[in-house]
Chains A and B, each alone.
Chain A
Amino acid sequence: MYMWRKVAMTTAFAALAGTTAMANCGIDTGRVSIVGNEFPAIQTVAAAAAACGSDAAEVKSNLTADHQKINLAGMLGDPAEYTTAIIANSSIIALMNDDVIRPLDDLIAAHGADIPAKQLISINGKVMAVAFMANAQTLAYRADVLKEIGVEPPKSYEEMLAAAEMIREKGIMENPIGGAYAAGWNLAEEFVNMYIGTGGEFFTPGTAEVSINNEKGVAALEMMKSLTAYMNPDYLTHDSNGTQAEWEAGNVALMSMWGSRMGNLMDTEGSEPVVYENTMVGGPLMVGDSGVPATTLWWDGWTVAKNVSDEDATATFLAMKEATSPAILNDTTMAEAVWMIDGYTPAPVSAGVFAAIAAGSQPYPMLPFMGLLHTAAGDNIADFLQGKESAEQALADIEAAYTAAATENGFLQ
């Protein structure tokens, strides 16, 4: 039902746009079917693609937070249900592993010479996706609270802990640190960030052998545990939405948060003026002395399905190219994301992501077996944070769970 509502909405939008713009984006025939995550920036892209639709070329989209559960299944068929999936650098892996997306080089040569090179994602020399926005977790802080304790915005997690202690001592807030520490994907993402920040490597280079049970892994977990001492005791149930609610309720003064969510924190909805007026965005946080920020860089981009006709692939390419072109940028859409599209002018809300790129942050590892490690980490860190087991045991559990999963999936023999 949800999908139908979306389709109806995009169709309505197409009808609306058709009367004003009559954009057909050069598509005379073919079928475009988009699957992707659901947040404002992607809705903008899908709506712009829908505007390319006509009687001869159908453009529809299915945007849902559960897109990862359906995109692979919807692209395995021949012809594929979805002609394009909007994915990120972690989720393109599942599509690559099952070989359901096609290289775009020929389409770029024929129709996409004007796509800037910085947007092209190439894997083994072949362009597999076109990125249109960037994301990263960086510091969000309450300027008024930091002023009250007379501290500069922290540059590292160690400074964050010190500031949190001062805030608690002064009785300003009981649990001044926030974070998306919900058991599962979110918690694993925090570990990935922290472990990269300690300078750790997840795998023995060139293989699928996991290697996180080392002092860097322990340091990452210990830092996470230190942070949780200053968090709302329910932190294991707080995903990004829950963490945003804590922030907007004025209970939190410091946290590492997604760049794509900073806009929600700084807008006037959901919180008191004292909160949103004082919400500031900082750069990525460091941990220890590795010199690598404890965050990962993400891009969101689009792909073209392999199991579709050339006609549909061309139509999809043209629609998605149009939908991520400078033409979609206006006053409203500008604030929705850190666009990687030419003509984007950075706003204060996106300062964090740019700072993360400038500070040499690493992209989230694009490895075929990273998803398995991510799942294993998400299931096995909570026991350590709750004091039920040692950091070494938690790391050993992650390694064992990963190894079992990687063996079942043919990555380890």
Chain B
Amino acid sequence: MKHKTFFWFVLPSTLAMLLFIFLPLVSIIVQSMFVAHDQVIVSVENCGPFGCTQSIMVDQEATEALKSGHPFGQFAGADIFLDRGHLAIAEVGQAWDGSQTWREFGAQMLNLPFYKAMSFTLTFTFVVTPLVILFGFAIAVAVNSAVKVVRGPLIFFSLLPMMITPLVGALILFWMVDARGIVGTALISLSGDPSLSVKASTPLMWIMLIVYGVWHSAPFAFIVYYAGLQTVNSDTLEAAQIDGASRAQRIRYVVVPHLLPLTTFIALMQLMDNFRVFEPIVSFAASAHATSLSWAIYNDLGGETRQLSSAAATSVLTVVCIIILLTPVLIRTWRDFGRK
């Protein structure tokens, strides 16, 4: 392709990337290094329908004087990244010095919001991703070997979880696992413990979120694998069959190697998606048991006082974590690409 043609060809997507990826990245990085100006506070008397009270307010004029000329706020460098709401370096140090056993240290770490969020986010990512790949593959193989007439409806039903809006899907499950819902009641009668409740127990809530994650994403892996299965060389399969390979052996030695590049692709997408787990935490009202980095950003921005710098710092950390997470997969893809 000529350079000029290439330029015009990629220009729209380059512009879109600049606008929707690069600029927001610059924005959060800049924002995360600045904190608000010192607020000048004054004592005031507030009066209302319930009487007067002595209170405090921000002195707008004095604060405005500080703000003028420095629209970003005060430069704080990496301070926000290191404070308790994020990497909590000082607190981690104290926990390390103050704890005798690993268990004690772990408990103290989980008391810090960033590490609490990471513990769930990473568990979720590394449990859901392989399960999605396994289930997606199993469904794809099963659907592919079904009789032609039922394949259409089977594909439709297998894709349903992906078609349902995540929030709605999670809400449906949320009602089902309620202590008075169908799954909740079944659990209680199976275990014989009337006080058993998915929503009240941290381990059960984690399992619930993971089950939801697999349920919601498996169709994605399924449809990718199903497309891949259509391209498996039937000659090779027949040859293997003639050589006496069983069905399991044919899958193991012919189908799986053929689908490996697709697996890399699914793993890449799923690692990214699962790392920013968010909707189920909100719709399951699970924040007492499980938080994630995305939830922390939402929480910072949802309060009565918006914490923009804190949310920006968490966003930067999310980006860094995703880069770290994807590096092995990307290196692999690069090598595969180089080999060809």
- Tell whether A383 is near chain B: CB-to-CB under 8 Å: yes
Give the CA-CA distance A90 to B48 in the complex, in Å: 13
**B contact residues around A208 at 8 Å (CB):** 41, 56
- Tell whether A16 is near chain B: CB-to-CB under 8 Å: no
- Tell whether B325 is near chain A: CB-to-CB under 8 Å: no
Give the CA-CA distance A401 to B303 in the complex, in Å: 13
Q: Which of A77-85, A154-162, A280-288, A372-380 contacts B (4 or more CB under 8 A)?
A: A372-380
Asked if B310 contacts A410 (CB within 8 A), the reply is no
Asked if B195 contacts A233 (CB within 8 A), the reply is yes
CB nearest neighbor in A for B302: A69
- Tell whether A99 is near chain B: CB-to-CB under 8 Å: yes
- Tell whether B44 is near chain A: CB-to-CB under 8 Å: yes
**A contact residues around B43 at 8 Å (CB):** 206
CB nearest neighbor in B for A242: B285
**A contact residues around B288 at 8 Å (CB):** 183, 236-237, 382-383, 386
Within 8 A of A (CB), among B274-322: 284-289, 299-307, 309-310
Asked if B39 contacts A408 (CB within 8 A), the reply is no
Q: Which residue in A118, A234, A299, A413 is a CB contact (below 8 Å) of B38?
A: A413
- Report if A122-B47 is in contact (Cβ < 8 Å); known contacts: A236-B199, A374-B304: yes
Asked if A234 contacts B39 (CB within 8 A), the reply is no
Digitize A201-233: 1 where CB-to-B-CB distance is under 8 Å, 0 elsewhere.
000011010000000000000000000000011
Q: Which of A4-12, A252-260, A361-369 contacts B (4 or more CB under 8 A)?
A: A361-369
Asked if B64 contacts A408 (CB within 8 A), the reply is no
Give the CA-CA distance A232 to B54 in the complex, in Å: 39
Q: Which of A41-49, A123-131, A325-333 contacts B (4 or more CB under 8 A)?
A: A123-131
**A contact residues around B57 at 8 Å (CB):** 96, 123-124, 368
- Report if A124-B45 is in contact (Cβ < 8 Å); known contacts: A183-B288, A409-B307: yes
**A contact residues around B228 at 8 Å (CB):** none
- Tell whether A371 is near chain B: CB-to-CB under 8 Å: yes
- Report if A183-B285 is in contact (Cβ < 8 Å); known contacts: A367-B55, A405-B85: yes
Give the CA-CA distance A386 to B290 in the complex, in Å: 13
- Tell whether A264 is near chain B: CB-to-CB under 8 Å: no
**B contact residues around A72 at 8 Å (CB):** 306
Give the CA-CA distance A409 to B73 in the complex, in Å: 10
Within 8 A of B (CB), among A325-372: 340, 357, 361-363, 365-372
Asked if B197 contacts A234 (CB within 8 A), the reply is yes
Q: Which residue in A99, A118, A131, A411 is a CB contact (below 8 Å) of B41?
A: A411
Give the CA-CA distance A182 to B288 in the complex, in Å: 8
**A contact residues around B300 at 8 Å (CB):** 375
Asked if B197 contacts A233 (CB within 8 A), the reply is yes
**B contact residues around A64 at 8 Å (CB):** none
Residue total for A at the interface (Cβ-Cβ under 8 A): 71
**B contact residues around A357 at 8 Å (CB):** 50
Q: Which residue in B45, B84, B301, B303 is a CB contact (below 8 Å) of A372?
A: B303
Asked if A93 contacts B49 (CB within 8 A), the reply is no
Digitize B169-200: 1 where CB-to-A-CB distance is under 8 Å, 0 elsewhere.
00000000011000000000000001101011
Asked if B84 contacts A119 (CB within 8 A), the reply is no
Asked if B285 contacts A237 (CB within 8 A), the reply is yes
Give the CA-CA distance A299 to B53 in the complex, in Å: 15
**A contact residues around B303 at 8 Å (CB):** 185, 371-372, 374-375
Asked if B44 contacts A123 (CB within 8 A), the reply is yes
Q: Which residue in A97, A379, A397 is a CB contact (below 8 Å) of B58?
A: A97
- Report if A409-B49 is in contact (Cβ < 8 Å); known contacts: A233-B200, A234-B179: no
Asked if B307 contacts A372 (CB within 8 A), the reply is yes
Give the CA-CA distance A327 to B49 in the complex, in Å: 20
Within 8 A of B (CB), among A128-181: 131, 134, 174
**A contact residues around B327 at 8 Å (CB):** none
Give the CA-CA distance A297 to B307 in the complex, in Å: 26
- Tell whether A407 is near chain B: CB-to-CB under 8 Å: yes
**B contact residues around A54 at 8 Å (CB):** none
B323 nearest CB across to chain A (Å): 25
Asked if B305 contacts A97 (CB within 8 A), the reply is yes
B95 nearest CB across to chain A (Å): 12
Asked if B195 contacts A401 (CB within 8 A), the reply is no
**B contact residues around A99 at 8 Å (CB):** 58, 60, 64
**A contact residues around B286 at 8 Å (CB):** 237
- Tell whether B258 is near chain A: CB-to-CB under 8 Å: no
Give the CA-CA distance A285 to B247 in the complex, in Å: 71
- Tell whether A389 is near chain B: CB-to-CB under 8 Å: yes
CB nearest neighbor in A for B76: A408
- Tell whether A393 is near chain B: CB-to-CB under 8 Å: yes
Q: Which residue in B45, B58, B83, B91 is a CB contact (below 8 Å) of A125?
A: B45
**A contact residues around B74 at 8 Å (CB):** 410
CB nearest neighbor in A for B197: A233
Give the CA-CA distance A209 to B37 in the complex, in Å: 17
A94 nearest CB across to chain B (Å): 5
- Tell whether B123 is near chain A: CB-to-CB under 8 Å: no
CB nearest neighbor in A for B111: A397
Give the CA-CA distance A90 to B303 in the complex, in Å: 11
Asked if B58 contacts A96 (CB within 8 A), the reply is yes
Give the CA-CA distance A184 to B194 in the complex, in Å: 27
Asked if A375 contacts B113 (CB within 8 A), the reply is no
Give the CA-CA distance A362 to B52 in the complex, in Å: 10
Q: Considering the complex of A and B, which 7 residue pairs feature the smallest CB-CB distances, nearest first?
A: A371-B304, A382-B288, A124-B44, A183-B288, A371-B305, A410-B36, A375-B303
Q: Which residues of B contact A (CB under 8 A)?
A: 35-39, 41-50, 53-58, 60, 64, 73-74, 80, 83-85, 91, 111, 113, 178-179, 194-195, 197, 199-200, 202, 284-289, 299-307, 309-310
Q: Which residues of A contact B (CB under 8 A)?
A: 68-69, 72, 89-91, 93-94, 96-97, 99, 118-125, 131, 134, 174, 182-185, 205-206, 208, 232-237, 239, 297, 299, 340, 357, 361-363, 365-372, 374-375, 379, 382-383, 386, 389, 393, 397, 400-401, 403-405, 407-411, 413
